[in-house]
Each structure stands twice: as structure tokens, then as C-alpha cells.
Amino acid sequence: MKINLANIKKAKKLLYKRECIAIPTETVYGLAGNAYSDQACQKIYKLKKRPKNNPLIVHYLNIQRLKKDCHLNNDFIKLYKKFCPGPLTFILNLKKSSKISKIITNKKNTLAVRFPRHSVTRRLLKILEFPLAAPSANPSSRVSAVTSNHVKEDFGKKIKYVLEGGRSSIGVESTIVDLREKPKILRLGGLNVSTIQKILGKKITINNKPSKIVSPGQLKVHYSPGLPIRLNAKNIRKDEAYLLIRKKKVSKPNYYFLSQQGNLKEAAKNLYSTLRKIKKKKYSSIAVCKIPDRGYGKTINDRLLRASRFNEKTT
Ligand code: TXA
Ligand code: MG
């Protein structure tokens, strides 16, 4: 993407004033502020209406900068070398000397860190003297934003600036891996678990497998388009949108497909923008076809399962 230096300068100026702005990343857009400033971090929580006990991911340019704030370990180095910058977030132990705002960490001694690959945001990080705290740029519990317009639709004038970066190339949030002890996946996302496992050379446990959830209370409602969702649906009502992985030969106006050929990576990329499109059309609900539970299909199923919990709250 061509970099517009005037935009980067504007973003920098606002961030130095402890303002909160939106930044593009290859996964989803983020709501960013100076991670060393309590004031900036408070603004992020307020704007997003995020519960105070939900910590924020901090975005760094590279490992050299991260060293000031976190203890590194061998598993981290292996994964960093292979996948960073990229769609992977690490949970690490914070250093006592770290300047990271206590607002972000909720007074715990761990930190979620990520190295975004998007060229615009890397250019911005390069000229800042602080890392950026940035949760996904959407109101808490709703669908993430993959274009600058989505952010503007969600926040309007409440947000000071949206740094343009085009459409997010991956389209779903980063995979989160806790590396403090035995590697554990805390969130499925833009990097497949099997790929991570191969590089670490050891088995990783997944902490959020839908089949392993024993109580519905363990599932947080999240990623909701604001409409009820029916999973593995077969009979589609006329007033429902039908979400499909692959384009059907015979289509109807209420059919929305995520990929031409059934490619799961492409489907994940199109998931949030399609949910947003459907929401605008005033359907009563969304019926979703059965989605293969492999590769990026696992991430899509994870998101839709959480989004479907919205039903129970609202209907
Ligand atoms: O792709 C992404 O990760 C995007 C882009 C903007 O980087 N960010 C993102 O942030 O998805 P957010 O805040 O929407 O999701 C971060 C998740 C939250 O569920 C939060 O609870 C978890 O990471 N998290 C943050 N800090 C943590 C920590 N220290 N330990 C465990 N989980 C943590
Ligand atoms: Mg989020």
C-alpha cells in the first residue's frame, strides 16, 4: 500500500497528545493509544465501552522495543522469527521496570503483545517512542472492523481520526498464544494452530474449543452483528439471510457467500464485512450453513458460535 506521510504525521501528532485514533492492521482495525499513558488508555476503554477488567493488546514495531517491557523466552523467539510481523499475539510476563500503563494490564503482571505487518502502521510505530495499545476498533462485543468505513460507521465523530490503510488482508483477529508456561492457544485467529505447532515442535493445547465448553456461561457473547444467528441451518426462512461458505449455482437475493470456491481463508477474510452487509438489510436473523471445522474454518466457527449467543440474550 502506498504510504501517505501527511496521514502518518497527523496520526503521530494526535497520539502524542494522548488521543485515541484508529489504525489499520492486516487482521482488523485497532483503536490505538499510547500504551505508556494512563490517560490515552482510559480513552480507549471509554470509547469502546470495554469492561475495565479486559486487558488490551500492545503493538510493537519489533523485538528490540519489546525487550524494554517483557521477559522473552525460547518459544517466543522461535515463533517471532517465523511469523512476525504477522497475525499472532503472545502473552508474556511483564518486566517490573516496564512503563506499560496499569490501566491496560488491570494490575496483572502479564501482557498481550503483537507485531502488526501492515505497512502503514509499521511506518507509524517506527516514528513513535511508545508502543500502541489497540483493541479491535469496534464497540465491545460487536463485529470487528476491516475497513476505515466500518470504524467510521461504528464511532462517527466520537473518534478523532481513522488512519486509512485499505481493507485488512486477513480479516479476522490474531491468534493468541500464551507462552508463559506450556504453550496454550487462548483465541483462534489469523494464523492456524497446526502451523504454530510445527514451528514449536510440541503439542499446544487449545483453551477455547467449542466442544470442550461445558457450561454456556464460559462462552462470552462476542463478534455479534446484532442479529440472531442459527448455526448448521438447513431450512432457510424467507426473512432470513443465508450465510454460505461457497457460492451456490442457484442463488437467491438473501444468499450471501463468503468465497467463490469454498476457500476457507478467503471465507474468513470476508466474514465480518458480510455480517455487516447483512445487518444493514433488516433481516430477522442469519442462518449459517455447516462450516468445515478445519484450518480457518475453525476460526470462523469460533466467531459464529460466540456471535450466536447473542440470540439467548435478546430473544
Ligand atoms: O488482531 C488483533 O489481535 C486485533 C488487532 C487490532 O491487533 N486486536 C484485537 O484486540 O483483537 P481485542 O482487544 O479485540 O482482543 C484481544 C483479546 C481480548 O479478548 C483480551 O481479553 C485478550 O486479548 N487479552 C489481552 N491481554 C491479555 C492478557 N494479558 N492475558 C490474556 N488475554 C489477554
Ligand atoms: Mg475484539
Query: Residues 247-277: pLDDT tens digits?
Result: 888 889 999 999 999 999 999 999 999 999 9
Average pLDDT over residues 129-133: 98
pLDDT value at 153 more than 90: yes
Cα 116 → chain centroid: 11
The closest ligand to the CA of 70 turns out to be 1
Nearest atom within ligand 1 for CA of residue 105 = 29
| DSSP letters for 126-155 | HT-SS-EE--BSSSTTB---SSHHHHHHHH
The CB density around residue 31, as the number of other CB atoms within 10 Å, is 29
Encode pLDDT of 154-190 as tens digits. Answer: 999 999 999 999 999 999 999 999 999 999 999 999 9
**What are residue 118's phi and psi, to 5 degrees?**
-60, 130
Which residues on adjacent β-strands are paired with residue 176? 89, 187
Mean pLDDT to the nearest integer, 99-112: 93
Nearest atom, ligand 1, residue 30 CA: 6
Q: Tell me, what's the pLDDT at 62?
A: 98
Q: Which residue has the higher pLDDT, 107 or 73?
A: 73
Residue % of the chain over a pLDDT of 70 = 93
pLDDT confidence band for 242 (50 / 70 / 90): very high
Distance in Å, CA 111 to ligand 2 centroid = 16
pLDDT of residue 209: 53
Dihedral through CA 165, CA 143, CA 193, CA 200, nearest 10?
A: 60
pLDDT, residue 217, reads: 41
Q: What is the pLDDT of residues 23-55, one digit of tens each?
A: 999 999 999 999 999 999 999 999 999 999 899
List, as own/partner pairs, every contact residues 12-16 make where C-beta atoms lie below 8 angstroms and the sequence separation is at least 24, other chains included. Answer: 12/124, 12/127, 12/128, 14/160, 14/161, 15/40, 15/128, 15/130, 15/132
Using one digit for the tens of pLDDT, what is the confidence trace for 207-233? 865 444 444 444 456 678 888 999 999
Read off the pLDDT of residues 65-86 as tens digits, 9 standing for 90 and up. Answer: 999 999 999 999 999 999 999 9
Distance, in Å, from the CA atom of 145 to the CA atom of 27, rounded to the nearest integer, reads 9
User: For residue 311, what pLDDT is reported?
Assistant: 56
Tell which atom from ligand 1 comes closest to the C-alpha of 87: 1
| Closest ligand relative to 207 C-alpha | 1
Instruction: Give residue 210's pLDDT.
Output: 44
Q: How far is CA 121 from CA 68, 124, 151, in A?
A: 20, 5, 16
